[in-house]
Structure 1
Amino acid sequence: MSGYSFTLCAVRRASLDFQTAIKVAIAADTVSIAVMELIANAIIRPHTRRVGRSPFRRAVLVGLPGRLRGAFLITTPVNEWMTGRGKGHAVVHAYR
């Protein structure tokens, strides 16, 4: 939710109406957020089986920075590829 809200605030400052700003934020961030979540969850899944079902166990929380780094490393090339083709965050750049 916060990923969308950062983009939403930025395009609202560009004087877009709320409905259009929502559409731009969804178009710009959905693939990026989906890839990031997919990778982070794929990395955490084996750990939750090992330490129990709670995502708040110490072993799970300690590994959070590593999972986020891993997801970032995979998401960055995806974002660059999309931006190079005029998709993703490139949609937002038209409103700045």
Structure 2
Amino acid sequence: MTEQHRHDQMEHEHSEHPPALDHAAHSHHGFGTKASWRTAASATLHCLTGCAIGEVLGLVISTALGWTTGLSVALAVVLAFFFGYLLTLLPLRKAGVGWAGAIKLALAADTVSIIIMEIVDNGVMIAIPGAMAATLTSALFWGTLALSLFVAFLVTTPINKWIIGKGKGHAVVHAYHH
């Protein structure tokens, strides 16, 4: 293969258009009709990392400022989406994907996962009496936050497994991880 041909192929692979996700093209990666638990856990941990950064930052800021539960949750959710998408966008951009394509891929890869995680982890935080009102030096605050993220991981992993098995969710960015 000539250098020009290799360059042209790379440009095509990293264009603004996400790769097609048909069964035949991705069955060897576990994205056909069945995704592995390992793939689902990896995708969930990736998403959870961004969500956790945003969630922790949002709750720390709002707790330090003495905000209400509603404002605290709103800030945590906004920051969780921001950091969740950011952790997908940066590697895509590094792989040469243009901004429009990278944004489309990040939205397709992470939206459902982030929504589920945010519902679960904020639900746990709100459900534990006193957790949202606890101070930053409180074991109740940090213990509940850790528990909420763990529960979010447990709930989201099987959902991501199902979504990835359908060739959606994190499966849409898998081609760019090599």
Match of 2:108 in 1: 27
User: Are the equivalent residues in 1 in contact too, given 2:131–2:141 (CA < 8 A)?
Assistant: no
Q: 1:16 aligns with which of 90, 93, 97?
A: 97
Superposition CA RMSD, Å:
1.8
Q: 2:143 aligns with which of 33, 41, 62?
A: 62
- List alignment gaps of at least 5 residues for structure 1: none
What is the CA–CA distance in structure 2 between the aligned matches of 1:21 and 1:39, rounded to whole Å? Answer: 27
Asked whether 1:75 is paired with 2:156, we answer: yes
3-state DSSP of counterpart to 2:176: coil
What is the CA–CA distance in structure 2 between the aligned matches of 1:78 and 1:52, rounded to whole Å? Answer: 27
Aligned length: 94
Match of 2:173 in 1: 92
Report the TM-score, using the length of structure 1 for normalisation: 0.85
Task: Please tell me whether Structure 1 or Structure 2 has the larger radius of gyration of its CA atoms.
Answer: 2
User: Are the equivalent residues in 1 in contact too, given 2:105–2:173 (CA < 8 A)?
Assistant: yes
Question: Identity over the aligned pairs, expressed in percent?
Answer: 44
Per-residue deviation, 1:3: 1.4
